[in-house]
Amino acid sequence: MGPIADLFPANLPSGIVHLKSILAKDTQDELVRATKQVAKIAEFSHARTKSGGIYSAEMTNCGEFGWWSDAKGYRYTDADPRSGQPWPKMPKSFSDTLTRVLAGTDRSDFGPDACLINHYPDGAKMGLHQDKDEADFSQPIVTLSLGASADFLIGGFDRSDKSIKLLVESGDALIMGGESRLRFHGIRKIYPGTSPLSDLDGRLSLTFRKAT
Ligand SMILES: O=C(O)CCC(=O)C(=O)O
């Protein structure tokens, strides 16, 4: 674990906690390795939006449930809609790391059953959206960032509300919960060539959720 001096930076909206440099380099490398194992079973692909567009980030999932999007809409499924096979199990390194990251926060009891993994090649982004396909909005979304740095946008509760940008870097964690659980958010841009991890081009976000 890294320094804790920046654990609670000022002026983030209530319910958003940015844990800067919380993951040691060898932990980040292990999470990348585990992600590659997941992707051998459920490969990354560019999901379709409900309206027929295509996400520029590639996605896959692990855990009991996975989030997916296609012509049928946005939803959690217990099997990969592309193959009909169950999503790969959540790697132990994912759950162990999450437990360590959340120890000492008021979210130490968070028990996700899903992890949506986004891979952003250079140039990819994610438009402002709300995460609202989960059953219980009292449960947070916790994201671990790996690889290239990115501008994470935090908006309001209407898409048109002003957003602020937060630089997220490899080894950071971000908790979105409480009053901020349903804020619009997205990824404005990836900073090409900034991944400190030799086995990762672009950016990975491991987004832990409680789907049910
Ligand atoms: O990549 C990120 O940090 C954000 C991902 C995101 O907003 C999502 O998966 O809903």
Domain residue ranges of the chain, discontinuous segments joined by +: 16-209
Helix (H) or strand (E) holding 68: strand 66-70
State the alpha helices, DSSP H only, in the chain. 25-41, 92-102
Task: State the DSSP code for 180.
Answer: G
Q: What is the pLDDT of residue 10?
A: 54
Q: Per CATH, the architecture of 16-209 is what?
A: Sandwich (2.60)
Global pTM reads 0.94
The pick from 46, 62, 176, 205 for probing ligand 1's pocket by mutation, whose C-beta has the most ligand atoms within 8 angstroms, reads 205
Whether residue 148 is predicted with pLDDT greater than 60 in this model: the reply is: yes
Mean pLDDT of 140-156: 98
Mean pLDDT of 99-128: 96
Lowest pLDDT segment from 70-74, 158-162, 172-176:
70-74
> Given pLDDT bands bounded at 50, 70 and 90, which one contains residue 1?
very low
CB 171 within 8 A of CB 186: no
Whether residue 27 is predicted with pLDDT greater than 50 in this model: the reply is: yes
Ligand 1 neighbours (beta carbon < 6 A): 116, 118, 126, 131, 143, 152, 185, 187, 205, 207
Which residue in the block uniquely carries the two structure tokens 């989030």?
Answer: 67
Lowest pLDDT segment from 40-54, 118-132, 133-147, 179-193:
40-54
Q: What is the pLDDT of residue 52?
A: 83
Express as a percent the part of the chain with pLDDT over 70: 95
Q: Each residue of 149-163: pLDDT tens digit?
A: 999 999 999 999 999
CB 177 within 8 A of CB 11: no
Whether residue 4 is predicted with pLDDT greater than 50 in this model: the reply is: no
What is the greatest pairwise CA distance in the chain? 45
Closest residue by Cα to residue 57 from 200, 172, 189? 189
Mean pLDDT of 172-198: 98
Query: Ligand 1 center to residue 26 CA distance, Å?
Result: 23
Closest residue by Cα to residue 203 from 154, 156, 155, 170? 170
Closest ligand 1 atom to 57 CA: 1
